[in-house]
A and B are shown apart, each in its own frame.
Chain A
Amino acid sequence: MTIRILASVLALTALSGAAQAHAALDRANPLVGSTVASAPRTVSLTFTERLEPAFSTVRVENASGARVDQGKAQVDSGSRNVLRVGLKPLPPGSYKVFWKVLSVDTHTTEGSFSFTVGR
């Protein structure tokens, strides 16, 4: 009986086209916690799920808390799991990226990470 139930759930999981998991950060550019030699011009975040553009945001701050991003983040039109935001010219220092996204099934996830621009 247990095996039947288990098999049914697994089958439904495999077949469910509607299934959407929480959007987790899969990779970032610059890398989470990394030090880069030259200042990046954008922050690019790749998630494990497609995003709702209207409610997916990225904010980048310098060590004193001032915003250094160029405003509205954009979800890639071709790949809806990639979120990008442009950056102002960054002098060497530490920066923190704050993101909050809504995946297409209404699950909200958020996180933050740091990167450093070297001298």
Chain B
Amino acid sequence: MSRSILCQAALAVVAFLLPASASAHCFVGARFLPATLNVDDPCVADELSLPTVSRFKNGDDPSARQTDISAEFSKRITDTFGVSVGTTWTHLRPPGAPGVSGFQNVETSFKWQALTVPQHEFVMSVALNVEWGGTGAQSIGAERFNTYTPTLFFGKGFGDLPQGAGWLRAFAVTGQVGYAIPGRRSTLNSIDIDPDTGAITADIEYHPRVLVWGGSLQYSMPYLKSNIVDLGLPDFFNRLMPIVEVALQTPVANTITSGTVTTGTINPGVIWTGNYFQVAAEAIIPVNRASGTGVGGMVQLHFYLDDIFPKSIGRPIFASSPLPGSFGR
């Protein structure tokens, strides 16, 4: 048997072993779902968001100007299981008062990409997000207790619509539904004794269980160019993905002090996807007064570590197949 035949046979074995998810960051069949800013994308990946910067007027009364600078690192442990860790530095400037700064609690996410259907551009993941209480600064509102949020994610591209759907096939949606469970039901903030009546009053804050839900509607110019029609546009435009994200929270249990008003934001914007990184800019539009005032904005620089470092930190720690020596030559 010649050396070339042996080589071909070895490559065939490797190809057989290569998992469907070897395409790493969120490719599902012909569809690429970019990393989104306000809701997480439905895949596991080796990625680094650094930084994400947002500025807006929050839902406090009176509204404080809030600036967040955050970073998140995501790492695949296996081809379908990944961990991410992130933190946010926050600066709050209430009107007429000195500003305060500090870190929010550290957050980690353990995600399993449970279902991938390439021909229908469909992907679904389940995750447990943990906010680690006490790791952030109380001065900017970081809680002292953990919060656990089991979450379901999905993504669906519409490339499998009939050919007659034309340009509509470049649309995709992603979504998430989570249930945030605080590790503590309530916090006793203070106890006072009324000097006149002698009655004891307690200020107790109840920590609600919250439905965390939202998603994105996105239009992929790269998909349009590669799979539907090449309009001959400049490369810059062929890499754009206009997007609208919606991120909402609804308290649903233990709502004695929180109320049940849904808060959140709508984020229209655009993502530019390069070969090794993407850049995104979105507006922050609060859905009601309890969510904030005015229109804010956020920007993000996001690196595809699997493309930048395909042979080292861009690979799963326990990949289902070894990296063959013939690749990357």
Contact = CB atoms under 8 A, between A and B. Distances in A.
Given A18-B310, A18-B311, A111-B30, A106 B18 contact: yes
Contacts, number: 114
Contact of A104 (B226, B301, B327): B327
Interface string A21-54: 1101101100111100000000000001000101
A99 B322 CA distance: 25
Given A5-B50, A107-B310, A54 B8 contact: yes
Contacts of B328: 18, 20, 104-106
Interface in B1-20: 8, 11-12, 15, 18, 20
B309 A106 contact: no
A21 B311 contact: no
Given A18-B328, A104-B327, A106-B323, A114 B163 contact: yes
Contacts of A75: none
Interface stretch (A9-17, A65-73, A83-91): A9-17
A69 B48 CA distance: 42
Contact of A109 (B15, B23, B69, B324): B23
Contact of A19 (B229, B276, B329): B276
Interface string B137-162: 00000000000000000000000000
A25 B310 contact: no
Interface string B208-223: 0000000000000010
Nearest to B166: A33
A106 B310 contact: yes
B308 A112 contact: no
Given A104-B329, A111-B30, A19 B309 contact: yes
B149 to A, nearest CB: 26
B301 to A, nearest CB: 7
B275 interface: yes
B276 A13 contact: yes
B22 A13 contact: no
A102 interface: yes
Given A107-B24, A108-B18, A24 B48 contact: no
Contacts of B327: 52, 104-106
B257 interface: no
A31 B310 CA distance: 31
Nearest to B315: A106
A21 B228 contact: no
A2 interface: yes
Contacts of B118: 110
B27 interface: yes
Given A24-B222, A111-B30, A32 B227 contact: yes
A108 B230 contact: no
17 contacts: A5-B50, A13-B277, A18-B309, A19-B308, A19-B309, A34-B229, A54-B15, A102-B15, A104-B328, A105-B327, A106-B310, A107-B306, A108-B22, A111-B30, A111-B227, A112-B30, A113-B228
Interface of A: 2, 5-6, 9, 12-13, 16, 18-22, 24-25, 27-28, 31-34, 48, 52, 54-55, 102, 104-114
Interface of B: 8, 11-12, 15, 18, 20, 22-24, 27, 29-30, 32, 48, 50-51, 69, 71, 118, 163, 222, 225-230, 232, 275-277, 301, 303-304, 306-311, 323-324, 327-329
